[in-house]
Amino acid sequence: MAAKLCKANIGTRSEPRACGNPIEGGTLAACKDHRKTMIPTGSPGIFYRGGSYVTITRHRGKQVKSFHRTLAEAREAKGDRTGSSRHAPQTRRPFDVYAREWVASYQGRTQRGFDEDTRAAYAIALTRWAIPHYGSTPLRDIDRESVNALVAKLQRQGLSPASVRKYVAPLRALLSDAVGNGHLAANPALRLAVNRKARKGDESERVKDMTRAELAAVLATVPEGRDRLFFETLAGTGARISEVLGLDAVDLVDNDGRYTLTISRQWYRGRLKPYTKSANGERTIKLSPELGRKLWEHCADAVGPIFATRSGERLSARNMARVLERAAAKVGLHVSPHSFRHTHGSMLLAQGWPLTDVAHRLGDDVQTVAKTYAHRLRDSERDLSFFDELGNGGNAVGNATPSNSRKSADAQAGAKSA
């Protein structure tokens, strides 16, 4: 068997010449003089060095080496790092350039398309946080570690978990779209978990829903007339404030004293959008007799917005929030317009409404409602006394052993067969 010879190049790059000396034991392709020399294997980016195969790649502008026992392992590692073993080629385009082009042309991932207000919010979030964080880093070099570092940076700024998720959402959408377009092999922000622990001193101030007494106290301090009816509508429908602001007189229908309200649009940041926030948002709901009557009298024969200024313009969400802030302060509460929505949902569940019906009134899917109001479902009082009535002849369950129950069932089956 011919001796293996050293493959190290002792010539020039244009005129290579192999060393030719016998290789030293324990090495793959080097003599004793070239044990630490990087010797090409013929596979791009993979070299012999001593007794190992070495792969060389670049990550976030830096050279990265990894050592492997076999050529097959080295090729697999090289493919995983560069994406050459995957069907999706990964782009080397700088993140800042890619992000600005993406947010300007993104069309969304659903049939509803992508709202221009959301596009503006995405652009602000990317410009403020993600672009400074990644800069000109190649898109393909963004990994889970760097995404977690961005989340940690946001949390160190004292942002709430909800704010962190809001600022990370554009990055997650960008990376997901890049995967779909073949620019990335995988989304490093997929199933990203954000610490839900609230900021210190913040949880006690944040009230998601009110008790009946608190709701009555807040409504009683709101000025009578249009403003109080506005918040009574929030409380009696569970609608979002943008949906109530978007209501027109034609949405209210009187069917012989049975009032219904159709929610199909929203007034958001000074613009009327002919659709609701979610796919389940468009709905027609029943109103309580008193609320329906008040709204009907308020609208009379009017056309246009149900809640409007003296000049006929729709109310401002910010102005109504100020009205509520002043009213709630008088009774020592810290609530927002969205608190009425949570209060409505909680009260319906307390009354025994099915999740499907609650989801319909709120314009949400059942999974979202179940997740949001899980604490109410757990804390609700349930009557368990019916277990005591399951025994034979009305006896308590504890008085009927499994064997006795089985004998009773067998006896009944025998009587039927006879």
Give the pLDDT confidence of 112-139 residue by residue, as tens digits.
678 888 899 999 999 999 999 999 999 9
| Radius of gyration, alpha carbons of the chain | 34
Tell me what pLDDT residue 81 has: 55
Query: Alpha helix (H) ranges present in 203-288?
Result: 212-221, 226-237, 241-245
Amino acid at 230: F
pLDDT for res 309: 92
CB–CB of 236/341 below 8 Å? Answer: no
pLDDT, residue 415, reads 47
393: left (phi over 0), alpha (psi -120 to 50) or beta: left
pLDDT value at position 392? 47
Kindly tell me if the per-residue pLDDT of 212 is higher than 80: yes
CA distances, 292 to each of 232, 252, 369 (Å): 11, 8, 25
Q: Which residue has the higher pLDDT, 414 or 303?
A: 303
Domain map (residue ranges) of the chain: 1-85, 95-180, 212-366, 388-417
Classify residue 61 as exposed, middle or buried by CB count within 10 Å of its CB (0-12, 13-18, 19+).
exposed
**What is the pLDDT, as a whole number, of residue 418?**
43
E strand or H helix that includes residue 412:
helix 402-417
The pLDDT, as a whole number, for residue 400 is 42
pLDDT score of 220 more than 90: yes
What pLDDT score was predicted for residue 330?
Answer: 95
183: which DSSP letter? S
Residue 264's pLDDT is: 94
Give pLDDT, residue 88.
45
CATH topology of domain 212-366: hpI Integrase; Chain A (1.10.443)
What pLDDT, on a 0 to 100 scale, did the predictor assign at position 384?
61
- Number of DSSP helices (H) and strands (E) in the chain, helices first: 16, 9
Average pLDDT estimate for 163-174: 93
pLDDT tens profile 84-104: 444 445 688 999 999 999 999
Query: Cα 175 to chain center, whole Å?
Result: 14
What are the distances in angstroms from CA 323 to CA 15, 178, 192, 222, 326? 84, 44, 38, 7, 5
Residue 33: per-residue pLDDT: 85
- Average pLDDT, whole number, for the chain? 83
Is residue 243 a contact partner of residue 314, using CB atoms and an 8 Å limit? no
Confidence of residue 397 (pLDDT cuts 50, 70, 90): very low
Predicted local distance difference test score (pLDDT) of residue 200? 44
What pLDDT score was predicted for residue 102? 95
Task: Return d(Cα 9, Cα 18) in angstroms, integer.
Answer: 5
H-run or E-run covering 52: strand 52-59
| pLDDT tens digit sequence for 311-370 | 989 999 999 999 999 999 999 999 999 999 999 999 999 888 999 999 999 999 888 888
Write out the CATH class of domain 95-180: mainly alpha
Tallying the residues shown for the chain, one arrives at 418
C-alpha distance from residue 207 to each of 215, 240, 352 (Å)? 12, 16, 23
